[in-house]
């Protein structure tokens, strides 16, 4: 379930293997992932990889002729492998490199995508994204919006939707999915079902702090491996053992021993502590 920490882990893991390398061949075994893979990705042939970066849950592989945009969806995985590694089921795309290695995309559920962005263009998928939750000083300068308590408070006013959905909306803040929103709400002491508009300013401050700390900590643990997430070198993430509420309905709260409950929010379940979260 790749959320920001998993995509960041992938980005950090891939960078040393990709930067400066030339793409010698692109193999598309499928026409469609989440969307059709545009033919324009062929413009990356014989190009050197200039940069690899993450924006929200997207991974951008930049060359002079344009950028590949990957999204890992639900089950997507990018690995660096030896060029002679046999194909497995759901291996959909290879970028073959000039040093006997390749970048291979595997995605059983095919919710992921590979798109292309021309130089100077902003792909439509990247247009309406909210601010990055963890912003460096340089990001603060280039981003129109800055993720802090004031921003979250103002944006949530008069919103009736559950705060959980509000925080998972990539237009509010990027990178937060079902796992980390549950953990952040727990750490901030806020129930997932509360209407976003009823969250106090103090709670907004707690939520911002919780989201930032949890995402940052998860990155240091290499993300969360629940079913199939692996870093580009094949290593799993170790954040699962740090989870307080996600997937723990019916079990005791690690803080107060109360039995964790499941709230039905749409089709997704959301786990919380009835005592710690108001």
Partner DNA sequence: AGCAGTACCTGGTTGC
Partner DNA sequence: TGCAACCAGGTACTGC
Closest contact distance (angstroms) between CB of 159 and DNA is: 4
| Stretch 36-75 residues interacting with DNA (CB under 7 A) | 56-57, 71, 73-75
Q: Is 133 a catalytic residue?
A: no
88/278 with CB nearer DNA: 88
Distance (Å, whole) CA 64 – CA 45: 11
Binding footprint of DNA, residue count (CB under 7 A): 38
Kindly write out the interface string for residues 142-161 of this chain, putting x where it contacts DNA by CB under 7 A and - elsewhere.
----------------xxxx
Please report whether residue 184 would count as binding DNA according to CB under 7 A.
Answer: no
- Contact with DNA (CB under 7 A) among 40, 125, 145, 263: 125
Q: Is 42 a catalytic residue?
A: no
Distance (Å, whole) CA 103 – CA 105: 7
Catalytic residues: 2-3, 57, 268
Question: Which residues in this chain contact DNA in the complex, by CB under 7 A?
Answer: 1-3, 34, 56-57, 71, 73-75, 89-90, 108-111, 125, 158-162, 165-166, 168, 170, 177-179, 196-197, 227, 246-247, 266-269
């Amino acid at each position: 379930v790749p959320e920001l920490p998993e995509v960041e882990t992938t980005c950090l893991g891939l960078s040393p293997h990709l930067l400066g390398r030339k793409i010698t061949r692109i193999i598309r075994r499928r026409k469609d992932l989440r969307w059709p893979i545009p033919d324009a990705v062929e413009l990356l042939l014989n190009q050197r990889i200039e940069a690899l970066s993450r924006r929200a849950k997207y991974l951008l592989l930049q060359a002079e002729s344009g950028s590949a945009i990957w999204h890992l969806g639900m089950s997507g995985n990018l690995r660096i492998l030896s060029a002679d590694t046999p194909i497995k089921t759901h291996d959909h795309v290879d970028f073959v490199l000039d040093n006997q290695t390749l970048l291979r995309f595997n995605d059983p559920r095919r919710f992921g995508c590979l798109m292309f962005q021309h130089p100077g263009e902003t792909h439509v998928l990247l247009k309406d994204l909210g601010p990055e939750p963890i912003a460096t000083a340089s990001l603060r300068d280039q981003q129109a919006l800055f993720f802090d308590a004031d921003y979250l408070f103002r944006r949530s006013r008069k919103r009736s939707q559950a705060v959980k959905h509000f925080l998972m909306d990539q237009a509010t803040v990027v990178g937060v999915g079902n796992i980390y929103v549950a953990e952040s709400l727990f750490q901030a002491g806020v129930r997932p079902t509360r209407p976003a508009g009823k969250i106090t300013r103090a709670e907004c401050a707690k939520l911002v702090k919780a989201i930032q700390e949890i995402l940052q900590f998860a990155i240091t643990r290499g993300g969360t491996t629940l079913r199939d997430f692996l870093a580009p070198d094949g290593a799993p993430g170790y954040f699962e053992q740090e989870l307080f509420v996600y997937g723990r309905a019916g079990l005791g709260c690690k803080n107060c021993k109360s039995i964790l409950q499941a709230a039905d929010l749409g089709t997704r379940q959301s786990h919380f502590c009835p005592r710690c979260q108001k």
